[in-house]
């Protein structure tokens, strides 16, 4: 019998096909390659077993149906190999769509959404009542065991009103103008008890970034900041921010794969890091100061980007340490 030849013969008058030997060899080789991938991942699984990983879930990965399913499967796999994933999600586009339907014009100052009482109701309705439940439902549908929370549950994310100032060049010695962003908050404290309890019971916490003030009022908080604060409070092994860019680029547009936190200020000053990337690297800085081992800015548009970052030597995106 020669490789590449298919044999056909008849049994009881019916033709029966036997696949060519070459086809079987190819299939075995593919299976061997898959086994090699699993073996190469084993040291990383052993290293991170029992560790906490905080993932900020946002961007295109939350919109594309295929990527949403891949994300859910990645998170389930992490849990199955003994890692404790905690998810903090955004939801800006979904909030804007409902505001548009309600004929409420969104307003931004320094990249932050001005959140009056009416807008806060919409924010909480979308993040807690819709987006959070969709993520939890998808993970559970794919075989996981997720529980949805907001930062107000169990006083998980305590917050205060964020104060923002703005100074124009022509103001001279005049004090900066204070800007009222409404119910926009900043994290003051994380109460991790509920998360620790859920992790011990093998649940995957999924958190909407809504905080609670001293008087019980709700605050809209940037999801990156919530993820960083939670990662720091839990001394997480990794903080992974999923974005719609490959990571942090240098002046020539090339991806910076590893970046010491001490180099960030210089990159911000010379505008290598600019725009929406500044709050993300600031979030990583803060998480590292709070005790997180390593932080990552990863392209969520890449399939299985979390697994590639966790279980391969090359990784993807930018590691900030």
What average pLDDT does range 290-296 have in this prediction? Answer: 95
What average pLDDT does range 222-230 have in this prediction? Answer: 95
* Whether 275 is catalytic: no
Catalytic residue selected from 74, 153, 224, 299: 224
The pLDDT of residue 168 is 62
Q: Using pLDDT thresholds of 50, 70 and 90, give the confidence band for residue 227.
A: very high
- The string of pLDDT tens digits covering residues 105-123 is 988 887 778 999 999 999 9
What average pLDDT does range 238-264 have in this prediction? Answer: 94
The three-class DSSP label of residue 165 is strand
Computed on alpha carbons and rounded to an integer, the radius of gyration of the chain in Å comes to 24
Residues 145 and 203 sit within 8 Å (Cβ to Cβ): yes
Average pLDDT of the chain? 90
Catalytic residue selected from 58, 280, 286, 300: 280
Q: 52-320, what's its fold?
A: Carbamate kinase (3.40.1160)
Q: How far is CA 59 from the centre of its chain?
A: 9
* Whether 36 is catalytic: no
Catalytic residue selected from 59, 144, 148, 151: 59
* Whether 280 is catalytic: yes
The pLDDT of residue 160 is 97
Catalytic residue selected from 51, 64, 92, 213: 92
- The string of pLDDT tens digits covering residues 18-55 is 556 677 888 888 889 889 989 999 999 999 999 999 99
Percent of the chain with pLDDT over 70: 90
The pLDDT of residue 180 is 86
In this structure, the chain runs to a length of 321
Angle between helices 65-80 and 132-141 (to 10 degrees): 60
Place of tokens 């806060």: 120
The pLDDT of residue 208 is 98
* Whether 23 is catalytic: no
- The string of pLDDT tens digits covering residues 168-188 is 666 556 667 788 899 999 999
- Asked if the model's pLDDT at residue 5 lies above 50, the reply is no
List all residues 6 or more positions away from 134 whose beta carbon is below 8 Å from its beta carbon: none
- The string of pLDDT tens digits covering residues 64-116 is 999 999 999 999 999 999 999 999 999 999 999 999 999 999 888 877 789 99
Question: Measured between alpha carbons, how far is 47 from 83 in angstroms, rounded to an integer?
Answer: 10
* Whether 92 is catalytic: yes
∠ at Cα 286 (79, 189), nearest 5°? Answer: 75
């Amino acid at each position: 019998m020669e490789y590449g030849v298919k044999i056909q013969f008849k049994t009881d008058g019916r033709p029966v096909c036997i696949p060519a030997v070459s086809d079987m060899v190819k299939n075995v080789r593919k299976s061997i390659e898959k086994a090699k991938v699993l073996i190469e991942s084993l040291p990383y699984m052993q290293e991170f077993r029992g560790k906490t990983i905080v993932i900020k879930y946002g961007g295109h990965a939350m919109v594309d149906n295929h990527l949403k399913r891949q994300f859910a499967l990645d998170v389930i796999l992490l849990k199955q190999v003994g890692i404790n994933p905690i998810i903090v999600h955004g939801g800006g586009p979904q909030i804007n769509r409902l505001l548009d339907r309600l004929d409420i014009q969104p307003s931004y100052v320094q990249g932050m959404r001005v959140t009056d009482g009416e807008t806060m109701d919409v924010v909480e309705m979308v993040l807690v009542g819709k987006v959070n439940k969709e993520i939890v439902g998808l993970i559970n549908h794919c075989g996981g065991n997720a529980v949805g929370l907001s930062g107000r549950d169990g006083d998980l994310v305590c917050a205060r009103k964020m104060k923002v100032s703005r100074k124009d060049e022509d103001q001279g010695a005049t004090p900066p103008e204070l800007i009222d962003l409404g119910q926009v908050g900043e994290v003051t404290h994380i109460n991790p008890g509920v998360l620790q309890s859920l992790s011990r019971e093998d649940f995957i916490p999924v958190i909407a970034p809504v905080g609670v003030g001293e008087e019980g009022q709700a605050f809209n908080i940037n999801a990156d900041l919530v993820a960083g604060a939670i990662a720091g409070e839990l001394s997480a092994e990794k903080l992974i921010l999923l974005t719609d860019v490959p990571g942090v680029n240098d002046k020539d547009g090339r991806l910076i794969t590893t970046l010491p936190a001490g180099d960030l200020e210089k990159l911000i000053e010379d505008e290598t890091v600019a725009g929406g990337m500044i709050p993300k690297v600031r979030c990583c800085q803060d998480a590292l100061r709070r005790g997180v081992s390593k932080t990552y800015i990863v392209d969520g548009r890449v399939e299985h980007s979390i697994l590639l970052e966790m279980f391969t030597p090359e990784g993807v995106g930018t590691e900030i340490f």
